Amino acid sequence: MTDAQQNTPSLTEKTTQVNADAPIFGVHFLGDTAAFVLGEEKLFLVGPGGEERRIDIHGGAVLASACDGKRVVTGGDDGKIIAVAADGTVETLGEDGKRRWIDRVATGPDSAVAWSAGRDVTVRTAKGELRTTEAPTSPGGLAFAPKGFRLAIAHYNGVTLWFPNAAAKPETLEWKGSHLDVTFSPDGRFLITSMQEPMLHGWRLTDGKDMRMAGYAGRVRSLSWSAEGKWLATSGATQLVIWPFQGKDGPMGKQPRLAAPGESRVEQVAYHPSREVVAAGFSDGLVLLIRTEDSAEILVRRPDGAPVTALAWNTSGALLAWGTETGEAGLLDLS
């Protein structure tokens, strides 16, 4: 925590601390219930009144998670794809016949779900129909487009764009290197990937124009769009990096905004669902709210040495949840 941050306005008195008693690698909201994804076997639910439930979901490590607001979908090293509803109902959506790891999952329109096992990528439609395609290499990330039934599959040397309901051959966007997480801009105009190297790569989908977004100290593991898609907040540096996406060219030829400089690296980012405010979690356990316009900061959690591994807002933006590598977690209530 820097000297400037020592005097930062604080919301720590509006937070509720909980302990998951296990490392946390993801968090989602089902209504006002926070669903913390634990590294092994379980989902830890914390309701708005502080009630806690632990739900068995996998017979081993939990490798991936996603949420559509109604269900948390997870993949595990037991080869299963599991969905958990807010009332704790558990449903098995699929199971790999070869018991391969399910290490990537994504949720899409009309309750669609996608997952990867080896090089195979499967989409389960709202009707329960399964469609499968083979990626060129093991997928690094999956993301549904905001418009139309289309899936982006990040992999080595680029991204495949696949329409599961169409017989047409998938389209490929090429760029050398290992592409990991992938995300569409909210308006569907841009596609961005994080890479094994400390950088992002992007494409303008109207014409395939490339964007190289570099300057990070380490690998970018967390990406979050502002509500209207004007900004993309990212981890990977010892300050918050926010790329501008206004106009037809997005960040091409522009510099990112930099905020909250310090000694610890930003590990997790989450934009507020309606305001241009970013929640940022750091490698030393610090959590800040940072306003895009002027980089003003509000302290949410003081650093304690435990890296922040998960951040999420509920739909209304009244609740923020965070989790750490050591299992410490919390809920900020802004209502």
Share of the chain above pLDDT 70, in %: 98
* pLDDT of res. 143: 98
* pLDDT of res. 234: 98
195-208 pLDDT, tens digit per residue, is: 999 999 999 999 99
* pLDDT of res. 16: 93
* pLDDT of res. 205: 96
Please spell the DSSP secondary structure of 1-51, one letter per residue: --HHHHTS-B-GGGEEEEE-SS-EEEEEEETTEEEEEESEEEEEEE-TTS-
Q: How confident is the model at residue 311 (pLDDT cuts 50, 70, 90)?
A: very high
Question: 35: which residues sit within 8 A by CB, 6+ positions away?
Answer: 27, 28, 29, 43, 44, 45, 67, 72, 84
Average pLDDT over residues 14-18: 94
Tokens 């000297």 sit at which residue? 3
Query: Over 70: is that where the pLDDT of 3 sits?
Result: no
Average pLDDT over residues 51-56: 96
Average pLDDT over residues 20-37: 97
What CATH topology corresponds to 3-22+115-333?
Methylamine Dehydrogenase; Chain H (2.130.10)
* pLDDT of res. 168: 85
Question: 334: which residues sit within 8 A by CB, 6+ positions away?
Answer: 11, 14, 317, 318, 319, 320
* pLDDT of res. 5: 57
Q: How confident is the model at residue 243 (pLDDT cuts 50, 70, 90)?
A: very high
Each domain of the chain, given as residue ranges in start order, spans: 3-22+115-333
- Number of residues that make up the chain: 335
CA atoms within 13 A on the CB side of 52: 13
- Return the beta strands (E) in 31-147 as ranges: 33-38, 40-46, 52-67, 71-76, 80-85, 90-95, 104-107, 113-117, 120-124, 130-134, 141-144
Query: Over 70: is that where the pLDDT of 216 sits?
Result: yes
* pLDDT of res. 247: 86
Across the chain, mean pLDDT equals 95
C-alpha to C-alpha distances, 230 to 1, 100, 114, 245, 271, nearest whole angstrom:
29, 38, 27, 5, 11
* pLDDT of res. 7: 65
94-153 pLDDT, tens digit per residue, is: 999 999 999 999 999 999 999 999 999 999 998 999 999 999 999 999 999 999 999 999
Average pLDDT over residues 36-61: 95
Question: 249: which residues sit within 8 A by CB, 6+ positions away?
Answer: 204
260-289 pLDDT, tens digit per residue, is: 999 999 999 999 999 999 999 999 999 999
Q: Phi and psi dihedrals of 333, rounded to 5?
A: -110, 110
* pLDDT of res. 218: 95
Q: How confident is the model at residue 6 (pLDDT cuts 50, 70, 90)?
A: low
Is the CB of residue 259 less than 8 Å from the CB of residue 240? yes
Query: Over 80: is that where the pLDDT of 36 sits?
Result: yes
